[in-house]
Each structure stands twice: as structure tokens, then as C-alpha cells.
Amino acid sequence: MDVIDRPLYELARLLESGEVSAEELAVEFLSRINKVDGIVGAFVTVDREGTLSGARMADKARRAGEAPSHLAGIPIAVKDNMCTRGIETTCSSKMLRGFVPPYDAHVVERVKAAGMLVIGKTNLDEFAMGSSTENSALRVTRNPWNLQRVPGGSSGGSAAAVAASEAPAALGSDTGGSVRVPASYCGIVGMKPTYGLVSRYGVVAYASSLDQVGPLAANVRDCAIMLRVIAGHDPRDSMSIDAEIPDYEAQLGRDIAGKVIGLPKEYFAEGIEPGVRDAVLEAAKQLSKLGVEVEEVSLPTVEYALAAYYIIASSEASSNLARFDGVRYGHRAEGAVDSVSMFMKTRAEGFGPEVKRRIMMGTYSLSAGYYDAYYKKASQVRSTLKSDFDRVFERCDALLTPTAPTTAFPIGERIDDPMSMYMSDVCTVTANLAGIPGISLPCGWQDGLPIGMQLLGKRFSEATLLQLAYAYEQAAGYPSRKAPVTKDRGCCSCH
């Protein structure tokens, strides 16, 4: 097996034993990117020089017995809405083209403190708004399983990079499903942590009460390792929680017999593709063979969650995006006669259609006379939904659902129909509204496309979710499958 196809935990072992050097690893991944990224389109920036020099430093430190951690020298990909000192951070928007942050996001600091290298920045839906990465102003990202399909979004570049073996792991952000949906479409593992577990400092804000950074990786163990790297208290994020971070990896092998998993009936309702539903129910059977008790539960408020999510997320976005005015960051329109026309022109030119749609929807929901009918109502749905979850978690250790209603859809299919695009998030937005953790992992394939299942748990139950996911993954024999783009000359549809 090529080194690029090895799990991250094995790369760490190979580095520690000296069987491979960080420099060799960097060269391998960079040449993989060279070979396939013209087709896959996962990256918007690749930091070749920085990665190579960082790798040499990691090798030197390791030889001197001074490596900052066993992960030192492993390259990872970072979604381009996280600030990276000295490297352009665009949010895949014209608005931020040319913005080079003078500082690192907390998660990037953490990755670097472990000695890991940021190999490049990945494509996303502009400002993380979307479910397919088609809203990027910079490039198209293709699904490595089928190049005519979307990789999911908004962290589509991060998911595609991992699925195409361009990086062993990646960071994404998840406001309503943006780590889990692309993980599901690309046949990998992705986790959205409990709100407050990972600092949002230096992550360009979309909807601050929902945003969380999470890892994407080829398997559950790697996901556990990456979560531990990025989790932890940061006083610069007022919602960051000061709690002990467990060694998630060390706890993976625990017996899951006797755990109770609920199947919320609302997530298996109309609109879920039969193939997806069947694969998730099959996974439930597999889990019960492992000694888990599976039972049907109900969360009646789920029906209203998607509508509530799009009102809350757009409202917060309309306020957060007010800062992009041509004065402080990125793009500034030319030829304006006064400051007001400069703001207007800058925003008209800098933002794409979906971002404008969200700003308008959000401003409308927050305006006098409509606030009670929209924003306030949505907030009420959010608290009722939280109570629904609290109730089922009195009995269940986790809930099992599909991650998305369908597998990856064709590029172009939903881009002109916002409602059908929003429907992609119907299974994931609930975790963000309730602040609870969720993980997506592969549970089958249909017509050559991966199907993802989602496990949800109560706040700070990441260790339990990872144990359940790991036990399932081991029993099911995933993820032994590799996206076809890794097998041939770089393209699965034209060989």
C-alpha cells in the first residue's frame, strides 16, 4: 500500500519508528496533490514550501528526541475559512481574496503545536453557506467516488482531499452539517463536536451560536486522534468550555454491549431515499449483534428544525457579514463616489448569490415587525428541540440516523433550487441547534456512492460516540474501500 493510503495513526507509527521521514511523507502527499487535484479540485491553496520546510524541521526535531508529539510531521488540510498566519484565507469568496491573516485560528495553533503541518487550504461553499461546495467563487470540487457528483458541503474540499488521499485528515467547520454531509458523500468519517468543545477563535464566523470546527478522516481512530488535537479551552472564545479532554483514542476499544441506541422515527420519514434508509437500518442490526439495545424513539420537533435552522443561521450571518464593507478586509470596489456607495458596490461585487440570499433572509427575519414571527419563533423551536433531545437522552446513549437523505447528487442538480439544496441538511441541523455532538461514518454503498450514517449523543459524549462508531466500523469492515480516483490515473469516469 502506498504511504498516502495509510491511516494517520499508522503514519504516526512509521514516523516514530523511522521507517518513513516527514520529508518523504510531504513529498508523497504533495505529488499526489499535483497528480489528482487538477481533477478533484479539493484545494484552493497548497503550501508546498511551508510543508517541505516544516517536514524537515519535524525530522530534525525527531532525530534530536525533541518532536512536539508523535504526530509531528504529518500534513493535514484545513478548510479555507480558518485563519492561517501568512497564508491567504478566502472563505472561497471574492470578498476575501488577497486576505492574508496575521494570526492563526486556535485550531491551527493546536495542529501546529502538535508538530503537524498545514499542507493547504481547502475549497468550501462561499462563507460556508451551502451543501455541495458549488457556491465557491473559486473552483469546482468533484466527488472522488464519481467526478460528476458533488462532494457535499460546505467542507467539500476537506472531505474530497481525504477521500482522494491528498491528505490523511482535514479540518472542516459545521454550522448545520458541513462536516458530516461531505464526510457522508465522500465515504469518510467526520465529527461535529459539542458546541464549546473546540474554540472558534480565528474561524470566520457564519452563525456564531451554531459554528463548530470538526475533524474529517479516513477512519474513526484518526477522527478520535484529530479531535483530541483540536479540542480544549481557549479564553479567546467566550463559549469555550474549560473541561478535561479525554484520550478518545485510548477509549475506542471499550465494550459497547448494553448501550442503548434510539432510532428516531422522524429521521426515517418521507424524503429519505430507500437505499439510504435500508443501509442505516442494516447498521442498526449490526450494532444490535454487538450487544447494543436498539429501540424506536420520537423527537416531534425535528419536523420544524430545518426551517428554524435557516432562519437562525441566516439571521446570525446577516449580522456577522456586516463587517465585510471594503474598509477592513479583502475586496474594495473601485470608482465609488462616497463611502455609502463604496459599501454597496463592494458588497454587490464581493458576495455571491447564495450569500446575498442569506443576508437578505436574515435581515428580514430580524427586522421590526417580523422578528416575532420568524426569529423568535425559530428560537422557540430551538428550545423545544433541545428538550426533545434531553428527554430521549435520559434513556438512550446515542441516536442513529442517516447523515443525509440521499447519496451525493449530480453537480448542477440543485444549484438553482435553494429549497432542495437546503433539504440536504435535514438530518444534521438538529445537532447544531441543540449544541450536541454528531459523527458521520460510512455504512454502505449504492451505485458506487457511499452512504453515511450519523450517531448523535448528549453534550460531551464524544467518547461514547467514537466507541460506538469504532465498534461498528470494525464489525462492518469499513473503511477498507478507497475512492476510485486513487486507483487509476486520476479519473474514474474517463479511463
Beta carbon of residue 121, minimum distance to ligand GLN (angstroms, whole number): 16
Q: Which residues, at least 6 apart from 413, have a Cβ–Cβ distance to it below 8 Å? A: none
Widest pairwise Cα distance in the chain:
71
Q: Which residues, at least 6 apart from 253, have a Cβ–Cβ distance to it below 8 Å? A: 467, 470
Question: How many of the chain's residues bind ligand GLN (CB under 6 A)?
Answer: 14
Smallest Cα–Cα separation from 14: which of 84, 71, 99, 83? 71
Residues 204, 301, 279: CA angle, nearest 5 degrees: 80
Q: Is 92 a catalytic residue?
A: no
By rule CB under 6 A, what string of x and - marks binding of each residue 309-348 to ligand GLN?
----x-----------------------------------
Beta carbon of residue 301, minimum distance to ligand GLN (angstroms, whole number): 19
Task: Work out whether 128 is an interface residue with ligand GLN (CB under 6 A).
Answer: yes
Our CB check for ligand GLN shows the closer of 173 and 454 to be 173
Beta carbon of residue 342, minimum distance to ligand GLN (angstroms, whole number): 28
According to CB under 6 A, which one of 145, 185, 195, 206 is a site residue for ligand GLN?
206
Task: Work out whether 134 is an interface residue with ligand GLN (CB under 6 A).
Answer: no
Q: Is 79 a catalytic residue?
A: yes
By rule CB under 6 A, what string of x and - marks binding of each residue 397-436 to ligand GLN?
----------------------------x-----------
According to CB under 6 A, which one of 154, 184, 301, 346 is a site residue for ligand GLN?
154
Q: Is 192 a catalytic residue?
A: no
Which is catalytic among the residues 92, 93, 131, 154?
A: 154
Our CB check for ligand GLN shows the closer of 74 and 276 to be 276
Beta carbon of residue 227, minimum distance to ligand GLN (angstroms, whole number): 17
Q: Which range, of 123-131, 269-277, 295-303, 397-405, touches ligand GLN by CB under 6 A? A: 123-131
By rule CB under 6 A, what string of x and - marks binding of each residue 157-186 to ligand GLN?
----------------xxxxxx--------
Our CB check for ligand GLN shows the closer of 25 and 179 to be 179
Smallest Cα–Cα separation from 160: which of 126, 122, 131? 122
DSSP secondary structure of 169-206 = EEEEEESSSTTHHHHHHTTSEEEEPPTTTS--TTBPPS
Q: Which residues, at least 6 apart from 51, have a Cβ–Cβ distance to it below 8 Å? A: 26, 29, 30, 75, 117, 118, 119, 120
Q: Nearest 5°: phi and psi at 170?
A: -150, 165
Beta carbon of residue 184, minimum distance to ligand GLN (angstroms, whole number): 13
Helix (H) or strand (E) holding 294: strand 293-297
Q: Which range, of 122-130, 336-344, 411-419, 465-473, touches ligand GLN by CB under 6 A? A: 122-130
**Nearest-CB residue for ligand GLN:** 178
- Contact assessment for residue 435 and residue 195, using Cβ atoms and an 8 Å cutoff: yes
Residues 110, 468, 381: CA angle, nearest 5 degrees: 80
According to CB under 6 A, which one of 15, 44, 74, 129 is a site residue for ligand GLN?
129
Q: Is 274 exposed, middle or buried (0-12, 13-18, 19+ CB in 10 A)?
A: exposed
Angstrom distance (rounded) from CA 194 to CA 161: 24
Measure CA 24 to chain center.
28
- Contact assessment for residue 229 and residue 175, using Cβ atoms and an 8 Å cutoff: no
* H and E: helices and strands count for the chain: 15, 11
Our CB check for ligand GLN shows the closer of 174 and 388 to be 174
Task: Work out whether 131 is an interface residue with ligand GLN (CB under 6 A).
Answer: yes
Q: State the residues that interact with ligand GLN by CB under 6 A.
A: 128-131, 154, 173-178, 206, 313, 425
Which residues belong to the active site?
Answer: 79, 154, 178
